[in-house]
């Protein structure tokens, strides 16, 4: 019997880990064919992805020359919400093959909530891969599958790196190099068709920041967006705040008097306060939460909003940060207790300033007192 794998997703756009997984799944499952299945509209996403025409063309470019991999437009042609049980039943009836449906460990945990999971397992085997920095209790899930479905899943040896299409979209918007993030042919297609272009705030950041700082900014956007949905935050507000958090980093003009920045303000803090001023006065942003998220992303303050905390933390843990203790903070960020992660980031920042024997801004002291207790205990 022919062995056929199905690998579904939005592929908005296809990235390097999609490509790596697909090729390794063909080998590990000894597949005769792997069908890449872009969804029309996934059930778990409220907004539609990039138009199907572009996603299909990028997939075809990414897997050009791979004889055992084919791109299917089945779900796209059906339109409407894409449900896995309908897809696997269709291909089982059409091919009669031994089917394998490929999912990540994070999706395995939620599999029980899918529409008619028992019908999926009646016609195919689940092949599950692990993701870095995403914990999945595979033994617990295996026992659940045995008890509820009377069937096991296949655990692949492949471990996917912590990567997302979000990073590709953000890097594209910031006009950063894409070739390390996806196949060169896909990168070229994105540029040719001006996909995932930036908004007016990104365009402003591109004008005032050098590429190295622009990359840091893009990484902060990506980190913050990875948590925005879980925290119930508006993604557009998150994008604006993180995009503009460092726009005054290389400001060389005279600081406007109405920016109300005290002359005693430590130099590393000035850009945050000035950035908030630019966002409000020059870019005409009226949302006070966004303004404050920019203003206090370096110092913190007492009684911060959730958006303020997220920008503060994302700035400290973005993937290119390299300082002693960042791995611990990054690991916390990838877990569920965001408030604990925020407090640990604040603690790390405060201790770092004390160790440098540099002046500590009053707002940082207020933040430490508010969230972690008396500052004097740290000074002694």
Query: Are 4 and 35 spatial neighbours (Cβ–Cβ below 8 Å)?
Result: yes
Other beta carbons within 10 Å of 136: 18
pTM, two decimals, is: 0.91
Tell me which of 163, 184, 212 is where a domain ends: 163
> Of 227-236, 293-302, 355-364, which gets the smallest average pLDDT?
355-364
User: Interhelix angle for 338-355 vs 362-372, to 10°?
Assistant: 130
How far is Cα of residue 357 from the mean position of the Cα atoms in its chain?
35
| Percent residues over pLDDT 90 in the chain | 83
Whether a cis peptide bond, with omega within 30° of 0, leads into 13 is yes
CA distance 14 to 183: 9
Q: Which of 107, 140, 163 is the last residue of a domain?
A: 163
Q: Evaluate whether 128 touches 104 at the Cβ level (below 8 Å).
A: yes
187: in domain: no
Evaluate if residue 41 carries a pLDDT over 80.
no
**Among 148, 163, 178, which residue terminates a domain?**
163
How do residues 194-253 score in pLDDT, each as one tens digit? 999 999 999 999 999 999 999 999 999 999 999 999 999 999 999 999 999 999 999 998
Distances (CA, A) of 326 to 134, 143, 215, 339, 375: 18, 35, 18, 17, 22
In this prediction, residue 44 carries a pLDDT of: 57
Chain segment 55-69, per-residue pLDDT in tens: 999 999 999 999 999
CB atoms inside a 10 Å sphere around CB 59: 27
* CATH assignment at residue 306: 1.10.3210.10
Q: How far apart are alpha carbons 168 and 14 in whole angstroms? A: 9
Number of domain units in the chain:
2
Whether residue 168 is contained in a domain is answered as no
Both 14 and 135 in one domain: the answer is yes
Give the CATH number of the domain where residue 144 resides. Answer: 3.40.50.620
Confidence band of 47 (pLDDT split at 50, 70, 90): low
Output b/e per residue, 234-247; b: 16+ Cβ within 10 A. Answer: eeebbbbbbbbbbb
Helix (H) or strand (E) holding 70: strand 69-71
Average pLDDT, integer, range 94-100: 96
* Statement to judge: residues 159 and 202 lie in one domain: no
* CA atoms 215, 218, 219, 220: torsion sign: positive
How many other C-beta atoms can be found within 10 angstroms of the C-beta atom of residue 127?
Answer: 22
Residue 371: how many other CB atoms lie within 10 Å: 17
Structural domain harbouring 96: 3-163
> In this structure, are 36 and 119 located in the same domain?
yes
CA distance 290 to 231: 16
Report H helices in 1-51: 16-28
Helix axes 165-173, 184-192, angle to 10 degrees: 50
96, part of any domain: yes
* The Cα angle at residue 332 between residues 331 and 333, in degrees rounded to 5: 90
Query: Does residue 215 share a domain with residue 126?
Result: no
Q: Is residue 193 part of a domain?
A: no
């Amino acid at each position: 019997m022919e062995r056929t794998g199905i690998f579904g997703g939005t592929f908005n756009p296809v990235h390097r880990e999609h490509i790596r997984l697909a090729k390794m799944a063909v080998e590990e499952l000894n597949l005769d064919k792997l069908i890449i299945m872009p969804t029309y509209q996934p059930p778990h996403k409220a907004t539609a992805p990039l138009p199907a025409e572009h996603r299909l063309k990028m997939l075809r470019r990414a897997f050009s020359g791979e004889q055992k991999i084919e791109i299917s437009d089945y779900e796209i042609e059906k339109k409407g919400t894409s449900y896995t049980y309908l897809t696997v039943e269709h291909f089982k009836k059409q091919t009669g093959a031994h089917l394998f449906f490929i999912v990540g460990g994070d999706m395995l945990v939620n599999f029980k909530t899918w529409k008619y999971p028992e019908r999926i397992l009646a016609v195919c085997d689940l092949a599950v891969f692990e993701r870095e920095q995403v914990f999945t209790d595979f033994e617990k899930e295996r026992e659940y599958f045995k008890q509820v479905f009377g069937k096991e899943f296949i655990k692949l040896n492949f471990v996917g790196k912590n990567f997302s299409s979000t990073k590709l979209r953000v890097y594209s918007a910031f006009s950063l190099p894409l070739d390390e993030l996806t196949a060169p042919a896909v990168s070229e297609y994105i540029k040719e068709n001006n996909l995932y272009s930036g908004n007016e705030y990104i365009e402003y950041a591109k004008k005032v920041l050098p590429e190295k700082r622009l990359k840091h900014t893009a990484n902060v956007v990506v980190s913050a967006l990875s948590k925005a949905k879980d925290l119930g935050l508006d993604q557009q507000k998150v994008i604006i705040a993180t995009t503009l958090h460092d726009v005054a980093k290389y400001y060389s003009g005279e600081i406007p008097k109405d920016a109300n920045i005290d002359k005693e303000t430590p130099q590393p803090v000035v850009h945050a306060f000035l950035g908030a001023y630019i966002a409000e006065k020059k870019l005409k942003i009226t949302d006070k939460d966004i303004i404050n998220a920019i203003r206090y992303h370096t110092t913190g303050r007492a009684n911060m909003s959730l958006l303020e905390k997220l920008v503060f933390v994302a700035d400290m843990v973005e993937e290119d940060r390299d300082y002693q203790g960042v791995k611990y903070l990054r690991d916390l960020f990838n877990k569920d207790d965001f408030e604990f992660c925020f407090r640990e980031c604040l603690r790390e920042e405060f201790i770092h300033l004390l160790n440098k024997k540099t002046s500590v801004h009053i707002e940082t002291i207020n933040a430490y007192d508010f969230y972690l207790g008396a500052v004097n205990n740290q000074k002694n």
